[in-house]
Amino acid sequence: MTTQLPLHDALTQIVQAAGNDLWVTGGSAALMLRGLPLASSPRDLDLYCDDEDGAELHHRLKQYALNTPHYSESDIYRSTLSHYAVGGWRVELVAGFQVAAMGCRYRVEVKEVLLPLGEAVTFGDGESITLVPLAHELWFNALRGRADRVETIVGGMSLHREKHWTAMNAIEERNGFPNGYVTQVHNWINQEEGGDRDWTLKYASSLQAGR
């Protein structure tokens, strides 16, 4: 995929400073780079790396740093965060990201899973980055209860469904997802082929009922 979107300058500067071998791009900016519809423009640019690579990437990006890496933990998230200002964009580097919700625990593995199974984006002057697999976006947004984002992602996956199953299987095999929930998520993908979007309403309702 080749792109010339507003993120181009920021991503070019990041690649020139930090290389492209230790991190991937995710979140709404990555969905925008894929051309998927968003309700609003991305507010920042999310980069993911493994915990052991956070300090090295911070060193490479230090000229743009707004703060130093700091551990962050909430009810469902755990990571080490640092922030940068690059090319007019606020950039968040998320190291060692974990999500625990819905009886699931998802540990993000960049070098082992997301980098080799992600989608490359090449810019006009030759730089390239890797977008997280849509399988990651699906599981992440399912676990945090973003039914609107899940619907967008499933719509993108349905265009070339077969190419996403390798990443789906890798993520599911390496994390603690209950079988019933895995089946439910797979059903969302399979139902998209027939145009059945009722699952989004059922999903949102079940989340509300469980709170």
pTM above 0.75, yes or no: yes
Q: Which residues contact 31 (CB under 8 A, 6 or more apart)?
A: 38, 137, 149, 152, 153, 156
* Residue 209 in domain: no
Question: Is pLDDT at 145 greater than 60 in this prediction?
Answer: yes
* Residue 196 in domain: yes
Q: Looking at per-residue confidence, does 207 or 83 come out higher? A: 83
| pLDDT at residue 41 in the model | 87
| pLDDT at residue 124 in the model | 63
Q: How far apart (Å, rounded) are the C-alpha atoms in residues 208 and 210?
A: 5
Largest CA distance in the chain: 50
Six token digits for residue 178: 């209950």
| pLDDT at residue 103 in the model | 85
For the stretch 64-79, pLDDT in tens is: 999 999 999 999 999 9
Q: How far apart (Å, rounded) are the C-alpha atoms in residues 153 and 164?
A: 11
Mean pLDDT of the chain: 87
* Residue 211 in domain: no
CA–centroid distance for 11 within its chain: 16
- CATH number where 161 lies: 3.30.460.40
| pLDDT at residue 2 in the model | 47
* Residue 210 in domain: no
Helix segments in the chain, DSSP class H: 8-18, 27-33, 54-60, 115-117, 134-143, 147-157, 165-173, 179-192, 198-210
* Residue 94 in domain: yes
Q: State the number of CA atoms in the 13 A half-sphere of 115 facing the CB.
A: 13
Q: Looking at per-residue confidence, does 31 or 123 come out higher? A: 31
Mean pLDDT of all residues in 50-58? 98
59-73, 91-105, 156-170: range with lowest mean pLDDT: 156-170
pLDDT above 70: percentage of residues in the chain: 87
Mean pLDDT of all residues in 50-61? 98
Q: How far apart (Å, rounded) are the C-alpha atoms in residues 166 and 173?
A: 11
Q: Which of the listed ranges 79-88, 145-154, 190-199 does the model predict with the highest average pLDDT?
A: 79-88
| pLDDT at residue 59 in the model | 98
| Letter string b/e over residues 57-93, b meaning 16 or more CB atoms within 10 A of that residue's CB | bbebbeebbeeebeeeeeebbebbbbbbebbebebbb
Main-chain dihedrals φ then ψ at residue 88, nearest 5 degrees: 85, 5
Six token digits for residue 81: 């965060």
For the stretch 161-197, pLDDT in tens is: 778 999 999 999 999 899 888 998 888 888 754 444 4
Q: What is the number of domains present in the chain?
A: 1
| pLDDT at residue 201 in the model | 44
For the stretch 104-114, pLDDT in tens is: 999 999 999 99
* Residue 165 in domain: yes
Mean pLDDT of all residues in 122-133? 87
* Residue 121 in domain: yes
- Tell me which residue range forms the domain holding 40: 2-204
Count the Cβ atoms, other than its own, within 10 Å of residue 177. Answer: 21
* Residue 108 in domain: yes
> ∠ CA 211-206-153 to the nearest 5 degrees?
110
